[in-house]
C-alpha cells in the first residue's frame, strides 16, 4: 500500500493524502521524504492551483510512527540532527508552497500532525477532530514544528499547549486560529468544496502573489523600503495580463477568463 497518494483533478486541485489508516497515518522518515518530494514537485507546477492535505481513516495523523521513534532512540546526536533537518525541510516546503493550501482534518491530529496543519494556509476540521502537542509526554519537544505552530496559534497559547500536552477540541482549535472552520463530519466535503470553489474564482496569479505578500510583509517594520515594495507589487500586477483581464471583466460586468462556464 502506498503511504502517500497524490491526485490532481482537471481543475488543478492537487490532493495529497496520508494513506496509512491502520497506523493512524503516523509518519516516519520514508513518508517525510515522500512528502518532501511531492511538495517540491507541486511547487513547480503552474497548472496546480490549490493543494489539499488530507488523510484516510478515522485519524488525520498520530504524528511520529512508533517504529521510527524506536529507531531514533538509538541514533547519535549527528543522526538525530540529520533526521530533524529532513522533517524541517519538508515542513518548510509545505509552508512555502506558492499555491493556497488547505488541511482537511477529519480526526485526531497529534504532535507533528499539528505542524502539518499549521503549515497550511487554512484548515477545515470535523467537529469530532481533536489535537495535541503531545511531545513532552515522552520527553521530547515540538521543536521543528514550533515556528509554524506558534505563528498559527500565538506564543501565549503555545506556551500552554507545548508544556501541558493537553488534548483540545476542534472548537478550541478554531478559537486559537489553528483551523478556519469546524463542521459536522458529514459536511466536511461540502465545506472543503465551497472553499475550493471560492479560491478558483480568483485570479491564479493574484492568489499566488497575495500569499507571497503575507510572507513579505508579516512581522516586518514599516519602513520606506517596505512601503516601496508594496507599491511595486500593486503596480506590477495592475499591468500584468491577469490584472488587466480582471479589471476589464469587472468594468464590463463579465466573468474573467480564468473562470470556466461551470464555475
Pairwise CA distance, residues 79 & 30, whole Å: 15
For 187-217, write each residue's pLDDT tens digit.
999 999 999 999 999 999 999 999 999 999 9
Phi, psi angle pair for 44, to nearest 5°: -90, -5
**Predicted pLDDT of residue 260:** 79
* Helix ranges restricted to H, the chain: 29-43, 66-72, 77-95, 112-119, 146-153, 155-164, 170-176, 188-200, 204-217, 224-238, 241-251
The predicted structure's pLDDT at residue 261: 64
Predicted local confidence at residue 262, as pLDDT: 58
Instruction: Enumerate domains of the chain plus CATH numbers.
Output: 4-199 (3.90.226.10), 203-251 (no CATH)
Low-confidence ranges of the chain (pLDDT < 50): none
Amino acid at each position: 500500500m502506498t503511504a502517500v497518494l497524490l491526485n490532481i483533478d482537471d481543475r488543478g486541485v492537487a490532493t495529497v493524502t496520508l494513506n496509512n489508516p491502520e497506523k493512524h497515518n503516523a509518519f516516519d522518515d520514508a513518508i517525510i521524504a515522500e512528502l518532501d518530494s511531492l511538495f517540491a514537485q507541486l511547487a513547480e507546477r503552474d497548472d496546480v492551483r490549490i493543494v489539499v492535505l488530507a488523510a484516510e481513516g478515522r485519524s488525520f495523523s498520530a504524528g511520529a510512527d512508533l517504529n521510527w521513534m524506536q529507531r531514533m532512540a538509538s541514533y547519535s546526536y549527528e543522526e538525530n540532527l540529520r533526521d530533524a533537518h529532513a522533517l524541517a525541510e519538508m515542513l518548510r516546503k509545505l509552508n512555502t508552497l506558492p499555491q493556497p493550501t488547505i488541511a482537511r482534518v477529519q480526526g485526531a491530529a497529534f504532535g507533528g500532525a499539528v505542524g502539518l496543519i499549521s503549515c497550511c494556509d487554512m484548515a477545515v476540521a470535523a467537529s469530532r477532530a481533536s489535537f495535541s502537542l503531545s511531545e513532552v509526554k515522552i520527553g521530547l519537544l515540538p521543536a521543528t514544528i514550533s515556528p509554524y505552530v506558534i505563528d498559527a496559534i500565538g506564543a501565549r497559547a503555545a506556551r500552554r499547549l507545548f508544556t501541558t500536552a493537553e488534548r483540545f477540541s476542534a472548537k478550541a482549535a478554531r478559537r486559537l486560529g489553528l483551523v478556519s472552520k469546524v463542521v459536522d463530519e458529514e459536511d466536511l466535503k461540502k465545506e472543503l468544496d465551497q472553499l475550493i470553489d471560492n479560491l478558483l474564482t480568483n485570479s491564479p496569479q493574484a492568489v499566488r502573489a497575495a500569499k507571497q505578500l503575507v510572507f513579505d510583509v508579516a512581522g516586518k517594520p514599516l519602513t520606506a523600503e517596505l512601503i516601496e515594495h508594496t507599491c511595486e507589487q500593486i503596480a506590477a500586477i495592475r499591468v500584468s495580463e491577469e490584472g488587466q483581464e480582471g479589471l476589464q471583466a469587472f468594468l464590463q460586468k463579465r466573468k474573467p477568463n480564468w473562470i470556466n462556464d461551470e464555475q
